[in-house]
């Protein structure tokens, strides 16, 4: 074996080091083009559950479209795979109960993502963002005619969209006199892979849910075929019923107190009162499940999700109890 002269060996070694460094630099400097469709998978733990160490999952589809000089961001929370392996398990009449673990798509599911996933339009949201410096931001603000009227609005923003994007969602409750930040959901990209077609990073929501997320470029969305009832509709039919409104809006309930607080112009509904409303809603749902002969502990995720959404509809959106039941019946509220 021939021995290279020292100087030539040093030049060769330096060349290898520079080539590796250049490769790393290209990986670090990969640009991202958000326009298109993405499957977003989240793995997280939740401090507000009976087991804060239990890994959980959620997924959704995001679509980014050009809208003139602006950017339209659409979120579809109902994602339907033909291959449901590892995603849901049967629980009585509720066929769409999420399995408690960190689901990862298998080979067949990855192929579905690549070809485009059917999505449900129930619960979908969208915002049109405008450019502000290096960021994209939504422009609507929470405004109210008087101090006694409370409004709810979501602010969506994307920073460093072409580099390592941070996706931020702020839920704001405000009146003519005050505006307060109620909750923040943030996806912070730390890795850009596959030529900008895969993003990975950290996920957080309201300081209680923490974990990771992965965004993978997907085929265009497909219409969800058939007239299958949503998870919320099946849950309502199985456990709640049309008279569920009476369980929410009963004499002496926290909801009655919250409604009176707003009506009498005593300012915003306090966090403590909101928590009581949420707890009473969860208790009413659990009692209905128990009356049906089932175990509420089996539906912990559904009870928590529904209680949060119903509390938001009652307090933030100022819906009546009967309107909430209608939202459950037509699928606008889903676990």
Three-class DSSP category at 317: coil
pTM for this entry: 0.60
Q: What is the pLDDT along the chain (335 residues), one digit of tens a residue?
A: 455 455 554 554 445 444 444 444 444 557 899 999 999 999 999 998 888 999 999 999 999 999 889 999 999 888 888 888 888 776 554 445 678 889 999 999 999 999 999 887 777 888 999 999 889 999 765 444 445 556 667 899 999 999 999 999 998 765 555 555 568 999 999 999 999 999 999 999 988 899 999 999 999 998 766 555 667 777 777 778 767 777 776 766 777 777 676 655 555 667 777 788 888 888 888 888 888 778 888 888 888 888 888 888 777 777 777 787 777 777 777 77
Round to whole Å and give the CA distance between 196 and 61. Answer: 17
Number of other residues whose CB lies within 10 A of the CB of residue 128: 17
Closest Cα partner for 304 from 17, 54, 40, 35?
54
Strand order in the sheet with 222-223: 78-79, 118-120, 222-223
Round to whole Å and give the CA distance between 213 and 185. Answer: 12
Q: Which helix (H) or strand (E) segment is 281 a member of?
A: helix 271-291
Round to whole Å and give the CA distance between 91 and 237. Answer: 14
Closest Cα partner for 216 from 185, 194, 188?
194
Domain boundaries 36-223, corresponding CATH code? 2.40.128
β-pairing, 222-223 vs 118-120, is parallel
Give the residue extent of every domain in the chain.
36-223, 231-329
């Amino acid at each position: 074996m021939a021995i290279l002269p020292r100087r030539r060996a040093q030049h060769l070694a330096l060349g290898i080091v520079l080539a590796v460094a250049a490769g790393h630099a290209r990986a670090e400097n990969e640009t991202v083009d958000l326009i298109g469709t993405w499957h977003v998978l989240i793995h997280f733990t939740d401090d507000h559950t009976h087991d804060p160490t239990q890994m959980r999952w959620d997924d959704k589809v995001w679509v980014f479209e050009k809208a003139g000089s602006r950017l339209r961001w659409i979120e579809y929370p109902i994602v339907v795979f033909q291959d449901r392996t590892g995603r849901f398990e049967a629980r009585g009449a509720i066929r769409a109960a999420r399995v408690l673990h960190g689901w990862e798509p298998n080979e067949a599911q990855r192929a579905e993502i690549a070809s485009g996933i059917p999505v449900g339009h129930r619960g979908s949201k969208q915002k049109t963002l405008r450019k502000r410096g290096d960021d994209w931001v939504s422009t609507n603000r929470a405004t109210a005619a008087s101090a006694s009227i409370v409004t709810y609005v979501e602010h969506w923003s994307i920073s460093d969209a072409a580099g390592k994007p941070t996706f931020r969602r702020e839920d704001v409750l405000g009146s003519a006199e005050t505006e307060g930040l109620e909750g923040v959901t943030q996806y912070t990209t730390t890795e850009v892979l596959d030529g900008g077609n895969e993003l990975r990073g950290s996920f957080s929501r309201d300081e209680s849910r923490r974990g990771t997320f992965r965004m993978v470029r997907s085929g265009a969305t497909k219409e969800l075929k058939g007239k299958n009832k949503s998870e919320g509709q099946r849950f309502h039919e199985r456990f709640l019923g049309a008279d569920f409104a009476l369980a929410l809006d009963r004499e002496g309930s926290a909801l009655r107190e919250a409604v009176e607080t707003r009506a009498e112009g005593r300012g915003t509904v306090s966090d403590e009162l909101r928590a009581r409303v949420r707890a009473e809603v969860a208790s009413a749902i659990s009692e209905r499940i128990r009356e049906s002969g089932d175990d509420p502990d089996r539906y912990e995720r559904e009870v928590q999700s529904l209680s949060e959404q119903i509390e938001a509809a009652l307090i933030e959106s100022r819906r009546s109890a009967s309107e909430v039941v209608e939202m459950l019946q037509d699928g606008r509220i889903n676990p």
